[in-house]
C-alpha cells in the first residue's frame, strides 16, 4: 500500500525425516540450508527489520554443541545470516576434506548441520529494532529436553496478564513483552512435563536413561494445552526443543497463517504456501493448512501429527493477508485480489459518469497491480455489454458503431516510485516538498482539464502519502478529476494481532469522523464513548459509537476533503471497497476487525477501547 505500515512476520521450519547421511549422499551437505534460505527469501515481504535462523542436531554425543543460532538486523539480514553459515561450511570443507561428506564428522565439527531448522523474519511492532528482539528466542538448559527455541508471527493483547501469571508461578521475566512471556510460559510447562516423566521413572532407571525416556515420551501437545490457554491474540508459533521435538501452533481464530507439506524426506512449515511451493517444487494441493486451534507436532523420530490443543473460536483469518501482505503468486490470493478490483467497477462507473472515453486508469503501488487487473477486466465486461446492446439495436450509423467496437479503456503507468530518493532534509517547510517527489509520473498522456484519472491502491490507512505526494503529483497532470480507489474498506480500528496499527488518530477514517462530529455539533458522542471505555469490561467495542452517526459515503467524502490540500485544482473523490464485497471476494477469510470493529477476542476490544482512551487523554502511546 502507498501508506507504508509494518506488519506480520514470517516463519519457516524444516525437519529432515531421514538420517543426515541420506541427504548428504543424495543432495549434498548444504541441502537443508539452501532450502531454508529459499523459504525465507520467498517470504522476505513479511519482515525486513531482522531475521534469525536456529538449528538443532539430533543424537549428538555430550561435549558437542547441538544448538546453533544466528540473528541479524543488517540491511539484508537473510543474506547476512546465510553468508555466515556458508562460511562455516566452507571452513569445514577445507579442514575436513573427504570427511566433510560424513554425517558424524560434519555434526561434530561444523555448526548448522542438524536435522531441524527454524527461520524467522521480523517486522518490529514493539520495542527497538535490536538483535535481542529478533527470533528465534532461546531458552537454554543443560538438559536437552528442557532447552527451547521459539519463533513466531504473533502479537498478544494480554501481555500484562501473562506477565503476572509468570510471576505468580515464581518466575522473574527479564522483560514485559510478548516474545519473552510466550517463550517463558511454554518453557515453564516444558519443564513440568520433563519433571512429570522424571518422577514416573526415577526409581526404575538412571538419570541418563531417564533422559532418553523423556525424549521418547515427551508430550508437546500437553505442554501447548497448558501453556497457551491464557493467550489472547493472533499467533503462529514454532518451537524446537534441544532434543529435536518440534511444533507449530496456530491461534484459535486462525488469525495468523501457517501451512505445511510432508513426504517421506521432510516436513516443511511456512507462513505462506507459495514459499513451500517454490522451495520444494510440490503441488499446491499437497500443501496443507495448519488448522486454527491446532498444532503440528513432530517427535524426535520425525513422525508428525496435527491435533487440536485449544478450544477453537469462530474462524477469523486476517483479510489483510489476502488484500496485501501475502505474495500474490498464490493462486487463491491472486484470484481474490482480482475479484476485489472487479467488484469496485459499478462505483467507479458512477463516479466517472460512465465516460470511459475521457478516463485514464492506473494503480499504485506495484502490489495493487492484481486488483487493477481485476478492475480493468470488469471495465472490459461492462464495455462488452454496452457493445452488445448497440449491436442488438441495429443502428445504421456504421462509423459510430465501429468506433464503439474498437474502443478500449485507457490504461497508463502514471505513478512511479523513485526508490533512490531519500528525504534527508530535516526542516518541516522543505521536507513535505521533497516527500511530494518520492513518486514520479508520466507526463503528456492526460487531456488537460478533460480527463478523469482513476488510481487504485491496496488500502488507504493514514492518507498522508495521498495528501503529501500522490495527489499533488497527479494534479500536475492537470486532470479534471482524480478518483482514488481503495481495494480494501475503510480502516477504522486498530489492529492488535500482528500489524503495526495501534493509534486511533493514525487512521484517516477516524480523522474524517472527528471532522464530521465537529461539523454536525455531535462532539458529545466522543465524551460518551470515552466514559463507556473507561468503565468497560471489554465485552464490547465502544468506539463503534463514534462512527455510527454517519454513512459509509459521508465518511469517504470527508476523507476526500481532508486529503485534498488547497493547492490541488482537480476535483478529488475517494472510493472504498465495501465490507460486503470484501467477504464476497474472500469468503473463507473473514477477519475484518480493522474495518468493522468486530474483534475475534476480548483482548481486541480491550485494545481498541484503550486506544480511544489514549486518544481522548492525549497520550501518544501504544494500546498494547
> pTM to 2 decimals?
0.91
Q: What is the DSSP letter of 64?
A: S
Predicted local confidence at residue 462, as pLDDT: 83
pLDDT at residue 163, as a whole number: 77
CA-nearest of 65, 112, 232 to 161 is: 232
pLDDT at 421: 47
Judge whether 507 and 515 are in contact, CB under 8 Å.
no
User: 3-class SS at 591?
Assistant: strand
Residue 167 and residue 466: Cα distance in Å, rounded? Answer: 47
Per-residue confidence (pLDDT) for residue 291, from 0 to 100 = 98
Whole-angstrom distance, CA of residue 184 vs CA of residue 191: 10
Q: Which residues contact 181 (CB under 8 A, 6 or more apart)?
A: 156, 159, 162, 163, 166, 173
Contacts with 139 (C-beta within 8 Å, 6 or more apart), sequence order: 147, 148, 149, 150, 183, 184, 187
Q: How far apart are CA 608 and CA 491, in angstroms?
A: 13
Task: Identify the structural domains of the chain with CATH numbers, from first to last.
Answer: 6-315 (3.60.20.10), 329-515+552-599 (3.40.50.2020)
Q: Which residues pair with 118 in a beta bridge?
A: 13, 54
Question: Mean pLDDT by 10-residue block, N- to C-terminus, for the chain (624 residues)?
Answer: 61 98 97 98 87 96 94 92 97 95 96 97 67 89 95 85 77 71 91 96 94 95 95 94 97 96 98 96 96 98 98 94 85 95 98 96 89 97 85 69 80 74 45 57 88 94 82 93 96 85 89 97 98 96 98 97 91 97 95 95 94 94 78
Distances (CA, A) of 395 to 268, 356, 494: 62, 21, 55
Predicted confidence at residue 604, as pLDDT, reads: 94
Q: 129: how many CB neighbours lie within 10 A of its CB?
A: 12
* 493 contact partners, CB below 8 Å, separation of at least 6: 507, 541, 543, 593, 594, 595, 596, 597, 599, 608
What pLDDT score was predicted for residue 424?
41
380: its cell numbers: 472490459
DSSP-derived letter for residue 592 is -
Q: Which grid coordinates belong to 415? A: 505513478
Contacts with 518 (C-beta within 8 Å, 6 or more apart), sequence order: none
Spatial strand order of the sheet with 137-139 comes to 137-139, 148-156, 233-241, 246-250, 294-298, 304-308
Rounded to an integer, what distance in angstroms lies between the CA atom of residue 602 and that of residue 624? 13
Q: Could you give phi then psi for residue 273, rounded to 5 degrees?
A: -65, -35
**What is the reported pLDDT for 107?**
96
pLDDT at 503: 85
| Angle at the Cα of 490 from the Cα atoms of 526 and 458, rounded to 5 degrees | 150
3-state secondary structure of 360: strand
Q: Hunting for cell 460518551 — which residue is that?
A: 528
In this structure, the strands spanning 233-241 and 148-156 are antiparallel
Amino acid at each position: 500500500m502507498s501508506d507504508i505500515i509494518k506488519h506480520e512476520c514470517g516463519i519457516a521450519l524444516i525437519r529432515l525425516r531421514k538420517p543426515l547421511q541420506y541427504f548428504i549422499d543424495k543432495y549434498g551437505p548444504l541441502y537443508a540450508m539452501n532450502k531454508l534460505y529459499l523459504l525465507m527469501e520467498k517470504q522476505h515481504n513479511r519482515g525486513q527489520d531482522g531475521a534469525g535462523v536456529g538449528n538443532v542436531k539430533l543424537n549428538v554425543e555430550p561435549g558437542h554443541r547441538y544448538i546453533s543460532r544466528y540473528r541479524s538486523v543488517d540491511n539484508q539480514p537473510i543474506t547476512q545470516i546465510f553468508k555466515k553459515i556458508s562460511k562455516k561450511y566452507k571452513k569445514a570443507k577445507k579442514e575436513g576434506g573427504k570427511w566433510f561428506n560424513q554425517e558424524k564428522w560434519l555434526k561434530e565439527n561444523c555448526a548448522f548441520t542438524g536435522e531441524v531448522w527454524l527461520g524467522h523474519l521480523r517486522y518490529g511492532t514493539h520495542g527497538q529494532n535490536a538483535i535481542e528482539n529478533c527470533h528465534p528466542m532461546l531458552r537454554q538448559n543443560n538438559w536437552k529436553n528442557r532447552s527451547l527455541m521459539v519463533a513466531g508471527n504473533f502479537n498478544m493483547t494480554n501481555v500484562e496478564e501473562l506477565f503476572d501469571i509468570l510471576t505468580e508461578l515464581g518466575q522473574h521475566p527479564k522483560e514485559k513483552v510478548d516474545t519473552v512471556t510466550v517463550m517463558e510460559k511454554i518453557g515453564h510447562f516444558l519443564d513440568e512435563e520433563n519433571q512429570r516423566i522424571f518422577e514416573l521413572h526415577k526409581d526404575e532407571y538412571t538419570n541418563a536413561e531417564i533422559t532418553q525416556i523423556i525424549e521418547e515420551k515427551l508430550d508437546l501437545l500437553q505442554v501447548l494445552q497448558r501453556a497457551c490457554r491464557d493467550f489472547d491474540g493472533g499467533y503462529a508459533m514454532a518451537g524446537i526443543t534441544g532434543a529435536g521435538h518440534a511444533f507449530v501452533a496456530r491461534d484459535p481464530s486462525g488469525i495468523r497463517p501457517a501451512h505445511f507439506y510432508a513426504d517421506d524426506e521432510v516436513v516443511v512449515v511456512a507462513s505462506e504456501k507459495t514459499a513451500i511451493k517454490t522451495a520444494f517444487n510440490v503441488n499446491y494441493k499437497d500443501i496443507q493448512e495448519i488448522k486454527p486451534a491446532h498444532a503440528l507436532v513432530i517427535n524426535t523420530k520425525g513422525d508428525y501429527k496435527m491435533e487440536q490443543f485449544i478450544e477453537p473460536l469462530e474462524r477469523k483469518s486476517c483479510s489483510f493477508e489476502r488484500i496485501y501482505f501475502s505474495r500474490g503468486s498464490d493462486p487463491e490470493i491472486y484470484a481474490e485480489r482480482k475479484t476485489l478490483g472487479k467488484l469496485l467497477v459499478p462505483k467507479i462507473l458512477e463516479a466517472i459518469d460512465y465516460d470511459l472515453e475521457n478516463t485514464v486508469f492506473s494503480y499504485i503501488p506495484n502490489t495493487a497491480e492484481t486488483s487493477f487487473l481485476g478492475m480493468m477486466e470488469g471495465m472490459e465486461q461492462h464495455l462488452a455489454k454496452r457493445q452488445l446492446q448497440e449491436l442488438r439495436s441495429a443502428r445504421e450509423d456504421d462509423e459510430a458503431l465501429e468506433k464503439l467496437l474498437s474502443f478500449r479503456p485507457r490504461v497508463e503507468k502514471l505513478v512511479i516510485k523513485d526508490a533512490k530518493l531519500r528525504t534527508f532534509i530535516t526542516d518541516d517547510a522543505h521536507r513535505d516538498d521533497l516527500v511530494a517527489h518520492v513518486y514520479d509520473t508520466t507526463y503528456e498522456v492526460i487531456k488537460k482539464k478533460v480527463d478523469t484519472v482513476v488510481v487504485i491502491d491496496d488500502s488507504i490507512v493514514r492518507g498522508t502519502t495521498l495528501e503529501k505526494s500522490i495527489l499533488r503529483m497527479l494534479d500536475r497532470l492537470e486532470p479534471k478529476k482524480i478518483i482514488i480507489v481503495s481495494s480494501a474498506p475503510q480502516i477504522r480500528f486498530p489492529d492488535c494481532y500482528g500489524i503495526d496499527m495501534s493509534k486511533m488518530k493514525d487512521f484517516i477514517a477516524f480523522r474524517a469522523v472527528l471532522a464530521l462530529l465537529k461539523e454536525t455539533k455531535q462532539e458529545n458522542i466522543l465524551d460518551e464513548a470515552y466514559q463507556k471505555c473507561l468503565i468497560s469490561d471489554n465485552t464490547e467495542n465502544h468506539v463503534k459509537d463514534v462512527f455510527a452517526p454517519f454513512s459509509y459515503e459521508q465518511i469517504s467524502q470527508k476523507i476526500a476533503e481532508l486529503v485534498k490540500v488547497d493547492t490541488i485544482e482537480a476535483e478529488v473523490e475517494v472510493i472504498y471497497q465495501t465490507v460486503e464485497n470484501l467477504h464476497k471476494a474472500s469468503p473463507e477469510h473473514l477477519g475484518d476487525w480493522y474495518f468493522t470493529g468486530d474483534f475475534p477476542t476480548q483482548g481486541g476490544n480491550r485494545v481498541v477501547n484503550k486506544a480511544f482512551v489514549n486518544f481522548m487523554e492525549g497520550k501518544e502511546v501504544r494500546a498494547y
